[in-house]
Amino acid sequence: MTGQKFQYKKMKFEELILLAQNDDMKALEELIKQEQRNVFAAFSYLTQNKQDISDLTQEALLRIARNIKTLKNPKNFKGWANQIITHLYYDEIRKISRKPNTISIDSETEESNEFTIKNLLPDKRCKPQEKCISLEIEEIIKNEINNLPEPFKIVIVLRELQGMSYDEIANATKSSIGTVKSRISRARLKLQENLKNYI
Amino acid sequence: MENPNCQQVINLLELYINGKLSPILANAIEFHLNICPKCRKKYFELKTEINNVKDKPKIHSNRVERQIEHYIQNLSAYIDNELDDKDNIKIRKLSIVNTQARQKLEDILYFRQMLQNSFDKTKNNLKKDYSEEIIHRILNSGRKRINSEYVSLVISTLFLIFWSIEILYLYN
Ligand SMILES: [Zn+2]
Claim to verify: residue A17 and residue A89 sit in the same structural domain? yes
**Residue A103 resides in a domain:** no
Which of B76, B107, B126 is opposite residue A37, by nearest beta carbon?
B126
pLDDT for position A37: 96
CA of A50 vs chain B CAs: smallest distance (Å): 11
Has residue B55 got a pLDDT over 70?
Answer: no
Query: Residue A166 is which amino acid?
Result: Y
Q: How confident is the model at residue A3 (pLDDT cuts 50, 70, 90)?
A: low
Instruction: Write B1-9 long-range contacts (CB < 8 A, 24+).
Output: B1/B25, B1/B28, B2/B28, B3/B28, B3/B32, B4/B28, B4/B29, B4/B32, B6/B32, B6/B36, B6/B38, B6/B39, B9/B33, B9/B36, B9/B39
- The residue among A28, A62, A95 that closes a domain is A95
Predicted ipTM of the assembly: 0.78
- Residue in chain A closest to B120 (alpha carbons) equals A41
Ordered DSSP codes for B39-86: HHHHHHHHHHHHHHHHHHHHHHHHHHHHHHHHHHHHHHHHHTT-S-HH
What mean pLDDT do residues A150-174 have?
Answer: 93
CATH number of the CATH domain containing A139? 1.10.10.10
CA of B62 vs chain A CAs: smallest distance (Å): 23
Q: How confident is the model at residue A128 (pLDDT cuts 50, 70, 90)?
A: very low
Claim to verify: residue A36 and residue A88 sit in the same structural domain? yes
**Helix, strand and coil in chain A, % to nearest 5:** 75, 0, 25
CATH number of the CATH domain containing A23? 1.10.1740.10
Claim to verify: residue A6 and residue A91 sit in the same structural domain? yes
Chain CA centroid to CA B136, Å: 47
What spacing in Å lies between the alpha carbon of B16 and ligand 1's midpoint? Answer: 14
Which of A61, A165, A185 is opposite residue B76, by nearest beta carbon?
A185
What spacing in Å lies between the alpha carbon of B31 and ligand 1's midpoint? Answer: 10
Has residue A17 got a pLDDT over 50?
Answer: yes
Mutate to test the interface with B, among A21, A28, A137, A188 (most CBs of B within 10 A): A188
Into how many domains does chain A fold? 2
Has residue A63 got a pLDDT over 80?
Answer: yes
**Residue A108 resides in a domain:** no
Residues near ligand 1 ion, CB 5 Å cutoff: B 6, 36, 39
Q: Cα angle at A168 between B130 and B128, to 5 degrees?
A: 10
Q: Give the Cα separation of B121 and B103 in Å (integer).
A: 27
pLDDT for position A84: 96
CA-based nearest residue to A193, from A152, A158, A162, A161? A152
Claim to verify: residue A60 and residue A135 sit in the same structural domain? no
pLDDT for position A42: 96
Has residue A162 got a pLDDT over 60?
Answer: yes
Has residue B2 got a pLDDT over 80?
Answer: no
CA of B5 vs chain A CAs: smallest distance (Å): 59
pLDDT for position A115: 37
Residues near B122 by Cβ (< 8 Å), separated by ≥ 6? Answer: A40, A41, A44, A45, A138, A142
Per-residue pLDDT tens for A27-51? Answer: 999 999 999 999 999 999 999 899 9
Q: Where are the domains of chain B?
A: 6-55, 59-126, 131-171
Q: Does B112 touch chain A (CB under 8 A)?
A: yes
Q: Give the Cα separation of A44 and A146 in Å (integer).
A: 8
Claim to verify: residue A85 and residue A122 sit in the same structural domain? no
Q: What predicted TM-score, i.e. pTM, was given to this entire model?
A: 0.68
What mean pLDDT do residues B20-35 have?
Answer: 91
Which of chain A's residues have a Cβ under 8 Å away from the Cβ of B70? none
What mean pLDDT do residues A94-104 have?
Answer: 58
**Residue A37 resides in a domain:** yes
Maximal CA-CA distance, chain A: 54
What spacing in Å lies between the alpha carbon of B32 and ligand 1's midpoint? Answer: 6
The burial class, CB within 10 Å (0-12 / 13-18 / 19+), for A106 is: exposed
Q: Does B85 touch chain A (CB under 8 A)?
A: no
pLDDT for position B161: 82
Say yes or no for a CB contact (<8 Å) between A129 and B113.
yes
Say yes or no for a CB contact (<8 Å) between B80 and A159.
yes
pLDDT for position A191: 93
Has residue A56 got a pLDDT over 90?
Answer: yes
**Residue A73 resides in a domain:** yes
Has residue B142 got a pLDDT over 80?
Answer: no
| Domain ranges, residue A146 | 118-194
Look at B169 and A147; give whichever has higher pLDDT: A147
The burial class, CB within 10 Å (0-12 / 13-18 / 19+), for B46 is: middle
What mean pLDDT do residues A157-183 have?
Answer: 94
The chain-wide mean pLDDT, for chain B, equals: 86
Q: How many CB atoms lie within 10 A of CB A10?
A: 9
Claim to verify: residue A90 and residue A146 sit in the same structural domain? no
A178 DSSP 8-state letter: H
Q: What is the share, in percent, of chain B residues with pLDDT greater than 70?
A: 90
Claim to verify: residue A90 and residue A128 sit in the same structural domain? no
Claim to verify: residue A11 and residue A86 sit in the same structural domain? yes
What mean pLDDT do residues A102-123 have?
Answer: 38
